[in-house]
Structures are given as structure tokens and as C-alpha cells.
Amino acid sequence: MLTNLQQQPADALLALIKLHNADPRTDKIDLGVGVYRTGQGDTPVFGAIKAAEKKLAETQESKAYLGPEGDMGFVEALMPYVFGKVDPTLGGRIEGMQTPGGTGSLRLALAMVKRAGVRRVLMGTPSWPNHAQICADLDLEMAGFNHATPDGTADMDALREVLRSAGEGDAILLHGCCHNPSGIDYENDEWDEIARLVAERKVLPLIDLAYQGLGLGMDEDAYGLRRVLVAVPEALVAYSCDKNFGLYRDRVGALYVMMGEEAQLAAAMSNGHALARANWSQPPDHGAAAVRLVLEDEALVREWLDELDTMRERIRQVRSRLAAAGKVGTLDLAPLGGQNGMFSILKLDKEQILALREKHGVYMAGSGRINVAGLTLGNIDTFVDALEEVTT
């Protein structure tokens, strides 16, 4: 029976990691994998998380099951950071549950919208590949629209066009900040327009916030999400703590649901809980419990936010240095300075990407996506020289 299963294509990024690991060159540069790196090339555990984990080991008295909603102390402690300190539940209309990472949250959100009768998911392209993979796995139809213009701004015309023909029964998947793979985010006035259009067309927003704090700042990165939520009756937010707490493999995320009225939340959330039960039953506890302990302790919150500031500043510094190189062969690196988060796309063809890898030991995704945090101040010039060589 199982021989009916067809060979699936290998995950290109995982294959790239293998190639990179096998490369003996000591000056190789890894711009493929999507994790933050320090100037020394490490992805360390946050100091605030280490302290919280120590506390957790000393104080946790049981590891008995918590339920499909996970650690609700974690879910609630995160809300003021996501939705704002003044009224983080928007008058009691938002409730959440813990999920295994942002991916678990997206899976649940998309399964929920399908159950609710959504037929189509509008999605800017290119997007993080797992968005389309989850939709395809759930048999949800996708309507792609162009995310960015050739000059490196958000393609608002394409968004307006797709929304013009959209309506009830459609959902729209939006990156809250630090767009993956392009780094091209909406400006605040563009978010204002998106909020108005989505509300007018009665399209259900699903906002993916996987990099809060790594773009312009914690509140700045939540501008679009908050703007959309006050404009519409219902919305979903898929949140990841895996980047902004450095918890990647511990799988920490949350799904938030906003309904028109508080009384409608119980029914909606019961679907989230039932879907979780049928998928992973209960989310893994450790990382979320550590985040909760950080958020419950003022000193640890300060330490966490300082660590996040350092990461954001380093990303900005690398971006500024790349942008300062300006025109490099056929590329213009200047727009990278105004983009946000870890990712940007370089307009390179397959041969150029291969030449970068083989001749220069520079590893990047086949789409031309680079993780700018993979660069250090010590190797940016080497990287720019390599780009110049393969593009001229």
C-alpha cells in the first residue's frame, strides 16, 4: 500500500544547508538558512531565555497535560506586545491559544477559515513557501497577486486589483512585518488603505507576524496588524516567538482570533481547540513557559528587549553597508537599506547563483533570497566583490 506514495521533491533549503556543511572552505558565507546570526556567525540562546529556563527548571512542579490551548499565561502575557498595551483584547473580542510555532498557528488558522466556509486565500507572491504548501494540503484555492514592483516597493496596484474582485468567502494572508522573502513591507499609509479596502470588501484578514521587533521596533512592526484589526469585525493572527525569542527548535507560537462580539469567541475557539486536538493534541510546553517567565519579570523583559534591539541594529548595519555599495554589476543594492528584517531578494539567475556557490563559497536560495544576518562586517566586501564578478 505504502508503495503508492510518490517520491516528494527534496526541500531545497535543507539540501543547501547540507552542501554548505560539506564545503571545506573556511571563508564560505551562508546566506541560505533563515535564522539570525551574530557578527561572529552564531545563533545563541537569548540571555533572558537562559535565565527563564533556569527559573523554570527550579520552579516547575509538574509536566502534566495542559490542554489543546497550551499555556494560557503565555498567550495572555504576549497580547499587550502584539495588540498594544491600552486594550490588548480590543474590548474582550480577542482570544488566543498556544501553537507549535508560527507554522502550527498558520496551519490552524487556515484549517479554521476552511471550516468557516472560506473558499479562496489571496496571497502576495512570492511568499514564504510554506504558506502555499499549507493551503494546498488543506485544498484551499489560492489567488496570488504580485507583492513587489521591480523598483522594490510594495505593489499596491496589484493588491487593489485583487481586492476589487474579492469579497465574502475570501481571506487575505498578509505579512505583518519583515516580509519573507523580499524584505519589502507596506508603509503605514499603505496599511491604512489596506485596512479600509479589506473592511470594504468584507475579506477576512489573516496576519502572519513572525518577526516582530526585527524590523523597525516592537510597536512599529505591529502598526499594520493593529490598523487592520480596528477596521474589521473578524481577523486571525498567526504569531511566532521563534525568531524574536530565538527559540526556533522549541516551536513557540500563538493563534489569536478576533470576533465581532465577545460572545462569539467561545464557538470560534472551540474549533481551534478541536483542530489542535486532531493535529498535535497539545503544543510543546517548554519554550512557551520560558517566554511566559520572561514576560512576567520586568528585568527579564528589559533584557529581552535589549537583545532584540541589538539584533535589529545589527541587521540595519549590514543593510546600510550593502546599500552603500549601490550599483554592483547589474544589481542595485541601494533598496536593501530601506527593506526590513532578515531577508531580501537579489535579481540573480540560476547560473549566477551557482557561480557564487562554486567559485566564491556563497550559499543562497535558488530564488536569490539572502539572509542579510548571514553577513558580517568582515565579509560584506568579499560578498559584494563576488556579486560584482558574477554579474559583470
Residues that bind ligand PLP (CB under 6 A): 34, 101-103, 128, 175, 180, 208, 210, 240, 242, 248, 253
Q: Which residue is nearest to ligand PLP (CB)?
A: 101
Question: What residue has cell string 507560537?
Answer: 253
For residue 191, indicate whether it is catalytic.
no
Copy the grid coordinates of residue 312: 535589529
Minimal distance, residue 101 CB to ligand PLP, in Å: 3
Determine which one of 208, 242, 250, 285 is catalytic. 208
State the CB neighbour count (10 A cutoff) for residue 378: 11
Q: What is the Cα–Cα distance from 105 to 240, expressed in whole angstroms?
A: 8
With CA atoms as reference, report the closest residue to 310 among 48, 131, 115. Answer: 48
Residue 190 neighbours by CB distance under 10 Å: 15
Which one, of 196, 204, 337, lies nearest residue 268 by Cα?
204
C-beta of 242 vs 303, nearer to ligand PLP:
242
The residue from 30, 128, 170, 285 that is catalytic is: 128
DSSP 31: -
For residue 304, indicate whether it is catalytic. no
**DSSP letter string, 108-126:** HHHHHHHHTT--EEEEEES
Closest distance of CB 242 from ligand PLP, Å: 4
Instruction: Kindly list the distances between the CA atom of residue 337 and the CA atoms of 60, 332, 365, in Å, as whole numbers in the listed order.
Output: 44, 11, 20
Minimum distance of ligand PLP from residue 251's CB (angstroms): 7
User: Position 343: which residue type?
Assistant: F
Name which of 210 and 390 has its Cβ closer to ligand PLP.
Answer: 210
Residue 135 CB, nearest approach to ligand PLP (Å): 13
Nearer to ligand PLP, 34 or 361 (CB): 34
Q: How far is the CB of 12 from ligand PLP (least distance, A)?
A: 14
Closer Cβ to ligand PLP, 170 or 208, answer by number: 208
Report which of 313, 149, 128 is spatially closest to residue 209, judged by C-alpha positions: 128
Nearer to ligand PLP, 174 or 390 (CB): 174
Q: E strands, 79-119, where?
A: 94-100
208 catalytic? Reply is yes
| Active site residue ranges | 128, 208, 243
